[in-house]
Amino acid sequence: MKIEKNVLIMSLFPNEITQLFDQTFNTFKSYEQENPEKFIESLSDKIDAIAVMGGTNVSSELIKKLPNLKIIANYGVGYDAVDVDQATLSNVKVTNTPDVLNDEVADTAVALTLCVYKNISSANNFLLEKKWLKSEFPLSKKFSGTKFGILGMGRIGKTIAKRIEAFNCEICYHSRNEKDVKYKFFSKLEELAEYVDTLCVITPGGEETKHLVNSNILQKLGKNGFLINIARGSVIDQKALIHALQNNIICGAGLDVFETEPPIEDHMLFSLQNTLLTPHNSALTLECRKRMATESCENVFDFLTKSKNLNKNNIINLNIIS
């Protein structure tokens, strides 16, 4: 069903979401233009909605230039590139697709954790390079029964915790507020890092959490500790992390996200043997991509048609006037 509403698509989406928006709305793609700013200005009074992917900046200035803008729909969970405060002041809803990728991200957290404990990547290279013919692979570390710390006990944090229970780990967490969960709460991140064997980062990005995991936290985690980051690269002080990995301040790290994405070709992390790196693909499954595309489009459709089906869990700034 197509409705006569105008959607500005600012990010190069996967084909399936672009097609879905094209079939449902009148779409205008700024990323295809030589001069996106001029293109947007020419449409300023026509745009009802913005569709965007994490990392694409939706600034205060842009929101002010679109007088008829009603909703900014994020494809995915992260919305730290959107000026939510200005959107709220301008009576513009901001939505995301929070629950559709819980399983995929949690699966990745567990996979990264097991791989860094068991040195899976190095073991694979050891075999392919035919080193097994000459020597034994170094011993790895046991994960089951360890202390597992989660930084951020939101939807994904809870999904990760449920999976980690299967490994008989003691699960602990730190967040801004204590949650209604059975796991041990630490009000100070330093104390959590010092207590656990693994620190798994799954807290939102943005200025509030920038470099929350710094050299002090890494020191507390210690030489037997592992760091897993599936949140945002900005949450960790990457220079401090590289120093910690190079100097055995921590044992190892599994990273799906980086401060700059993609990292530069000769990034120092690439030369470290005690890391496992993936290209921010924790949610990139065929199933998840399809669900995110559908839900992102539905957020716009349901809001613009004033449908009662709009999922309030997907609205970031619920406190604005509708």
124 with 265, same domain? yes
Quote the pLDDT of residue 318: 77
Mean pLDDT taken over the chain: 93
**121 and 241 share one domain:** yes
Model confidence pLDDT, tens digit, residues 16-40? 889 999 999 999 999 999 999 999 9
- Per-residue pLDDT, 102: 93
Please identify which residue in the block is written with the tokens 């513009």.
92
Percentage of the chain modeled with pLDDT above 90: 79
Consecutive H or E run containing 216: helix 215-221
Residues 44 and 121 in one domain: no
- Are 111 and 72 part of one and the same domain? no
| 14 prior amide bond cis, ω within 30 | no
Specify the pLDDT at position 264.
Answer: 80
CB 229 within 8 A of CB 255: yes
Strand ranges for the chain from DSSP E: 6-9, 26-29, 49-53, 71-75, 93-95, 147-151, 170-174, 184-185, 198-201, 226-229, 252-255, 275-277
Specify the residue for token string 């779409």: 27
Would 321 be classed as within a structural domain? no
| 55: amino acid identity, one letter | G
Query: Is residue 177 assigned to a domain?
Result: yes
135 and 259 part of one domain? yes
Question: Number of folded domains in the chain?
Answer: 2
Pairwise CA distance, residues 72 & 215, whole Å: 36
Q: Is residue 251 part of a domain?
A: yes
DSSP assigned state of 86: H
> 1 in a domain, yes or no?
no
In a domain, 250, yes or no: yes
Owner of token pair 């190079």: 246
> CB–CB of 145/115 below 8 Å?
no
Answer for the pair 88, 69: CB distance below 8 angstroms, yes or no. no
User: Cα angle at 232 between 125 and 124, to 5 degrees?
Assistant: 10
Instruction: Establish if 322 belongs to a structural domain.
Output: no
Establish if 268 belongs to a structural domain.
yes
Q: Distance between CA 122 and CA 91 in Å, rounded?
A: 52
Could you tell me if 21 and 52 lie in one domain? yes
**What is the per-residue DSSP string for 96-138?**
---STTHHHHHHHHHHHHHHHHHTHHHHHHHHHTTGGGTSPPP
Q: Are residues 123 and 229 in the same domain?
A: yes
Q: Within a domain: residue 308?
A: yes
Tokens of 19: 């097609």
174, 268: one domain: yes
Q: Model pTM?
A: 0.83
Q: Which CATH number do you get for residue 222? A: 3.40.50.720
Question: Are 215 and 114 contained in the same domain?
Answer: yes
Q: Which of 158, 159, 185, 187 is nearest to 173 (CA)?
A: 185
Q: What is the mean pLDDT of residues 151-177?
A: 97
Residues 122 and 75 in one domain: no
What's the average model confidence in pLDDT over 57-81? 93
Kindly state whether residues 91 and 106 are assigned to the same domain. no
Determine the structural domain holding residue 159 and report its residue range: 102-277
pLDDT band at 156 (very low <50, low <70, confident <90, very high): very high
Residues 38 and 163 in one domain: no
Quote the pLDDT of residue 193.
Answer: 98
Say yes or no to pLDDT of 3 above 60: yes
Q: Whole-angstrom Cα distance, residue 40 to residue 277?
A: 37
Q: Which residues are catalytic?
A: 232, 261, 280
